[in-house]
Structure 1
């Protein structure tokens, strides 16, 4: 039997968020950027929690970039919303 601690479980939830966001992007004709980037950011944050305990440096760096891109996407969506109103 595999022993899964809380940090691994949190990592699995983060992984599900990122996969879900990618599926959402592929499925929707016009995806909501707040859902897309917010879910990616949540996933990156949750995976980072897991990776801080079970360190895998390449994956930790990847999550940093993933989070930065998600934040950039959210900021871009906010700027776009402001110019439309």
Structure 2
């Protein structure tokens, strides 16, 4: 899966939060506190709108599954209908 659209969105979120540190596709976003709760909500809305998937925030592992750009891409791939 192409990570470019996800990466672009994540970098926009980080810029709005004045986080100018480099961010690779494997860098932690949530457990490192680079994304705050508002950013996470925006990310979930983005994923649901752009990729037509449902993201269950009641899943206790969801934040681990969305903790990097590569993990987000994997989550999308695993949850999109064929």
**TM-score by shorter chain over 0.5:** no
Report which of the two has the higher share of helix.
1
Normalising by structure 1, we get a TM-score of 0.29
Normalising by structure 2, we get a TM-score of 0.29
Higher relative contact order (CA 8 A, sep 6+): 2
Larger Rg: 1
